[in-house]
Amino acid sequence: MNHKPSADEKFIIPIGPQHPALKEPGHFEFSVDGEIVTGATVRLGYAHRGIEKATEERSWQQNAYILERICGICSHIHATAYTIGVERLAGVTISPRANTIRTLVAELERVHSHMLWWGVAAHEGGFDTLFMYTWRDRETIMDILENLSGNRVNYSANLLGGVKFDIDQKQVDMIRKGIDFLEERTHYYYQVITTDETFLGRTENIGTMTREQAESLGSVGPTARASGVERDIRVNAPYAAYTDFLIKMITDTAGDLKARFVVRLKELFESYRLIREMLDNLPEGELVVRVPRRIPEGETISRVEAPRGELFYYLASKGGDKPERIKVRTPTLPNWSSVLSVIVGHKLADVPMMLVGIDPCFSCNDRMITLQRKDNSDVWTWAKLRQYGIDYYK
């Protein structure tokens, strides 16, 4: 097939849906000119499983497990957001001990998530040794969480009204020992990423996003905090035990990839400090409080800070034992625009590093896709969309 390229035909590199750079499917198209990227588009929706629809068919307690499995890395924080919302609808206050244990597992999960991201980012930059070392150290956290809850991922720690398990003294000692070891290793890795020449060559001054850009693009989480935007739900609108155990917000002004690494590593130090503080001051209380099977009518939102940013839940109840509507907005979704608009002008080799710099979680963010068709366009109300789904499966 003879094909003469015209002068302005762009060379499009597809990354995904299957690509070694992505851990989950997503379709990116980068138009390149030599090695410089001139444009980027994204198409998501490959991991859409219909979870929000599935929650309407299950009881309130069963939904905690379904929603936990939206994401494997940030599973506990999804369940926490959900249970906080349901408890608020039911008008139930849980005991301080359960609250603290919930927050403790959330902080341990944050440590685990940052270490996982850390290794994956090193792998995308071709630094396999660092990838192996950080994942070896991450096994410490996985063992701690397995010892506490019984599973390495999807801890299922939350029940409506409290938590499932208690922490005894032996586990407290084990957690302390693990955290001491990890803190020493984190100091070492901090030193590596801020001084190693080859790694700095891949991360310094790449993907710089100014503070105005970050605010206008609506980015959340460490991506925004690396550009100086002060958004952290744990500080701005504390929930769970963050009202008693205060956390410091970590920001950086550089806004490039290196700043995102630095912010996440410093957050690890804050998490270690908070875990130790919670272990020292574990309050008394029962584990579970009774929550009725039928939740009273109402609607509520709950916002929590997942390792990737702000996680937003909307729950609506019509008084029954099944929810009326649950809507999830995960933090990776607003962060995509920060990658796609900043990446123009960078080299192709920087693309995987920038994609992984926002810590993408594709399974989290596949809530819905909009198709724009040129022939007809119609605006559907939510009731009409729901009826369409019900009729389709008849």
Partner 1 sequence: MKIGALLGDVVRSLFKSPATINYPAEPAQAPDNLRGKLIWDNRRCTGCKLCMNDCPANAITLHIIDRKEKRFVMEYYENSCIFCAQCVHSCRSEALRMSNTVWELAALHQEDFKYYYGKQEDVKSLLANEAPGFAGADD
Partner 2 sequence: MNTLTTFLNLLIFPGGLFLLIISTVYEWVDRKLVARYQNRVGPRWFQPVADIVKLLAKEEIIPNGVRAELFIGLPAVALAAILASALYTPMFGLQPAFSFRGDLIVVLYLLSAMTLSLGLAGANTIDRFSLIGATRTLTQLFSYEAPFLLALLGPAIVAGTWQINEINAYTGTHLWILITQPVGFLVALIGLMGKLELPPFDAPEAETEIVSGALTEYSGRGLALFRIGKDIELVIGLTLISTFYLGGLSNPLWFVLKTGVLLVVVAGLQSLFARLRIDQTVGLWWRIGALLALFQLLAIIVLRLVL
Q: Which residues bind partner 1 (CB under 8 A)?
A: 58-59, 61-63, 65-66, 69, 129-130, 133, 136, 139, 143, 146-151, 154, 156, 159, 164-165, 188, 191-192, 195-199, 288
- Which of 177, 187, 347, 384 contacts partner 2 by CB under 8 A? 347
CA distance 335 to 224: 9
Cβ 313 vs Cβ 328: under 8 Å: yes
Q: How far is the CB of 155 from partner 2 (least distance, A)?
A: 27
Cβ 255 vs Cβ 266: under 8 Å: no
> Between 18 and 62, whose beta carbon lies closer to partner 1?
62
- 385 touches partner 2 (CB under 8 A): no
Residue 12 contact partner, candidates partner 1, partner 2, none, CB within 5 to 8 A by sort of partner: partner 2
Cα–Cα distances in Å, from 209 out to 45, 59, 224, 307? 26, 44, 9, 20
Of 242, 249, 245, 248, nearest to 226 by C-alpha is 249
- 13 touches partner 2 (CB under 8 A): yes
Q: Where are the alpha helices (DSSP H) in 35-155?
A: 51-54, 60-68, 75-90, 96-124, 128-149
Q: Identify any residues that bridge with 347 across adjacent strands, giving them in sequence order.
A: 36
Residue 148 contact partner, candidates partner 1, partner 2, none, CB within 5 to 8 A by sort of partner: partner 1
> Between 199 and 245, whose beta carbon lies closer to partner 2?
199
- 195 touches partner 2 (CB under 8 A): no
- 125 touches partner 2 (CB under 8 A): yes
And the tokens for 278? 């919670």
- 242 touches partner 2 (CB under 8 A): no
Residue 276 contact partner, candidates partner 1, partner 2, none, CB within 5 to 8 A by sort of partner: none
> Between 340 and 353, whose beta carbon lies closer to partner 2?
353
- How far the first Cα of the chain sits from its last, in Å, is 47
Structural element, H or E, at residue 197: helix 197-203
Structural element, H or E, at residue 40: strand 36-43
- 217 touches partner 2 (CB under 8 A): no
Residue 11 contact partner, candidates partner 1, partner 2, none, CB within 5 to 8 A by sort of partner: partner 2
> Between 54 and 348, whose beta carbon lies closer to partner 2?
348
Cβ 90 vs Cβ 315: under 8 Å: no
- Which of 349, 368, 369, 390 contacts partner 2 by CB under 8 A? 349
Residue 151 contact partner, candidates partner 2, partner 1, none, CB within 5 to 8 A by sort of partner: partner 1
Residue 338 contact partner, candidates partner 1, partner 2, none, CB within 5 to 8 A by sort of partner: none
**Bridge-based pairing state of the strands 36-43 and 27-33:** antiparallel
- 11 touches partner 2 (CB under 8 A): yes
Residue 324 contact partner, candidates partner 2, partner 1, none, CB within 5 to 8 A by sort of partner: none
Cα–Cα distances in Å, from 206 out to 190, 346, 355, 365? 19, 8, 12, 25
And the tokens for 386? 């729901």
> Between 29 and 146, whose beta carbon lies closer to partner 1?
146
Cα–Cα distances in Å, from 253 out to 9, 18, 139, 340? 38, 35, 32, 21
> Between 29 and 324, whose beta carbon lies closer to partner 2?
29
- 172 touches partner 2 (CB under 8 A): no
Residue 49 contact partner, candidates partner 1, partner 2, none, CB within 5 to 8 A by sort of partner: none
Sheet holding 309-317, edge to edge: 298-306, 309-317, 325-329
- Which of 10, 49, 136, 177 contacts partner 2 by CB under 8 A? 136
Q: Which stretch binds partner 2 (CB under 8 A): 150-158, 244-252, 344-352, 382-390?
A: 344-352
Q: For 230-236, which contacts have Cβ atoms below 8 Å and span 24 or more sequence positions?
A: 231/309, 231/310, 232/305, 233/303, 233/304, 233/305, 233/310, 234/305
Residues lying near partner 2 in the complex (CB under 8 A) are found at: 1, 11-14, 19-21, 35, 122-130, 132-133, 136, 196, 198-199, 201-202, 347-352
